[in-house]
Homo-oligomer: A and B are copies of this chain.
Amino acid sequence: MENESLFRNRRTVRLYEQRLVADELLEKVLDAARLAPCAANRQRLRYVVARTPEIVSKLLPLTKWAMHVSPHRTPVQGESGPAAFIAVIGPREGNAYIHADAGAAIGYIQLAASCLGLGSCWLASVEREEASAVLGLSVDVELLYLVSVGYPAEKPVLDDNASETAYYLDDAGVLHVRKLPLDVIARWM
């Protein structure tokens, strides 16, 4: 598979260069999400792209990053913060399937960002009430997740076929992400 490296090279990035990301690139990232599979093709997810420094600086303090290595991978506004957040939004009455839809869309977002030389991080630990106010969301929708996007200022490495899952920083400050081997997670019949 010529695209095998695509999946292998996509790593979550939490520290960013202080450069804006062109709207054209963010549009390509969102377009991948738009084409992701979803339950019954209903396309119930909506997105807000927050990419002005003012809005990004309001959202950043409402997020928590990388609990296993906190605070070393908490980006600092103006030093290592992301250029943009993509807010992934669903109907308030959404059941578990809306989270599955969001997962597929965010998987696509992170792959597309990686293809474009961008880094991203999927954030589930968000002060949702305050972030929803910053984003101007109506009461009938729910902020499911945020995804940060920017040019990478770190290069996490994959520790493959590991026996545990906690990620860690090495002495050089590089983040190592452990992945379990295939024979541990899959059974054949």
Which residue from chain B places its CB closest to the CB of A12 in the assembled complex? B37
Q: What residues of chain B lie closer than 8 Å to A101, measured between beta carbons?
A: 103
Query: Which stretch in A14-22, A26-34, A74-82 binds the other chain?
Result: A26-34
Q: Which of A101, A116, A165, A188 has the most CB of B within 10 A?
A: A188
Q: A34-B182, A97-B124 are in contact. List 5 more A-B contacts (CB 8 A).
A: A3-B3, A3-B6, A36-B107, A46-B187, A100-B124
Q: Report whether B43 and A165 are in contact in the complex, using a CB–CB cutoff of 8 Å.
A: yes
The number of chain A residues touching the other chain, given as a range, is 35 or more
Copies of this chain, how many? 2
Which 9 pairs between the two chains have the least Cβ-Cβ distance?
Answer: A103-B103, A104-B107, A107-B107, A100-B103, A103-B104, A47-B186, A99-B99, A96-B99, A99-B100
A 148-164 binary contact with B (CB < 8 Å = 1; else 0): 00000000001000000
Asked if A167 contacts B49 (CB within 8 A), the reply is: no
Query: What residues of chain B lie closer than 8 Å to A67, measured between beta carbons?
Result: 40
Return 24 A-B CB contacts under 8 Å, by A number: A1-B115, A1-B116, A3-B111, A4-B31, A7-B108, A7-B111, A30-B182, A30-B185, A34-B182, A35-B179, A37-B106, A43-B179, A45-B185, A46-B187, A49-B189, A51-B188, A97-B99, A100-B102, A103-B103, A103-B105, A104-B122, A107-B107, A107-B108, A135-B189
